[in-house]
Amino acid sequence: MSNNRRKFIHQISGLAGIALIPTSLYSCVARKNANAADLQNSFFEISLAEWSLHKALFSKKIDNLDFPVVAKKEFGISAVEYVNAFFKDKAKDTKYLNELLMRCNDNGVKNHLIMCDGEGNLGELDQAKRLQAVDNHKKWVEAAKYLGCATIRVNAYGVGTAAEVRTAAIDGLGRLGEFASSMGINVIVENHGGYSSDGSWLSGVMKSVGEKNVGTLPDFNNFCLTREGNKCVEEYDRYKGTLEMMPYAKAVSAKSIDFDEQGNCVETDYMKMLKIVKDSGFKGYVGIEYEGDKIGEYEGIKKTKVLLERVRTMIG
């Protein structure tokens, strides 16, 4: 462990770190308790996944520091899910993280999770590469702790047979989960293509890992098992997959692409899907992740929010 990492961990844990953590972090904790109380009246609250605004972010119309402000002021959403690609070099930059925390505090926004990509594959068959991937993710666990998040989202990708990748993923997730547990952070896997989009395979991995802080992030629309170019040629049943993943779910991703004239999601029956979520006993955040291109990102987010609110009211 480097001196920088020791210093970082020291800052975010123990009495010596209290004076160094901005008051905004404690405000985030207070909001977490308030949101937990809100969940007594509903089985989910709405969060916003940063990927919903990826076009605006990549085009520099907004940046990562703007995201919590946009979530609250444009959409009335008070919980956010970051994507590490939009602040890739900032995981250990406490000055940057403090600025982000201040903007959250000023706008009454809770940091919920960080989606982590580009740090290596936790289902990598090569042990050295897998261990490096575990180590690469640790800085995001630390950043999540600093920001007051509950969770990081990772990938369980690997190249090999289903059994081989399963064994590797159990090891990689178990190691990272153990580290994250010491900091009170969850590690969750999204159905993100390949074996991870097989609900039975992923739930089997979770059962074998057996760590309370290691779980799943069911995404309503990410059930493609095999692609040829940009076309999905083999898809797992999204309702079956979600049902299989829900016992381990610590968050849910409400993916949306197209809408009909009544405001319903074309590719997913939200009523059917959210009934599965509720019947599992889930209580937590359902994150909006709009990924369509027929309407603008802002409109897509708003339509998804209205749909989620409508279905939530109908289900009760």
pLDDT tens per residue, range 277-313? 999 999 999 999 999 999 999 999 999 999 999 999 9
Q: Give the pLDDT confidence score for residue 316 in this predicted structure.
A: 80
Percent of the chain with pLDDT over 90: 84
Nearest 5°: phi and psi at 73? -75, -35
7: which residues sit within 8 A by CB, 6+ positions away?
A: none
Complete domains list, the chain, with CATH = 3-315 (3.20.20.150)
The CA–CA distances, whole Å, from 137 to 115, 258, 262, 294 equal 11, 33, 42, 35
> What angle, 0 to 180 degrees and rounded to 10, lies between the N-to-C axes of helices 127-147 and 162-181?
40
Provide the pLDDT confidence category of residue 27 given band limits of 50, 70 and 90.
very low
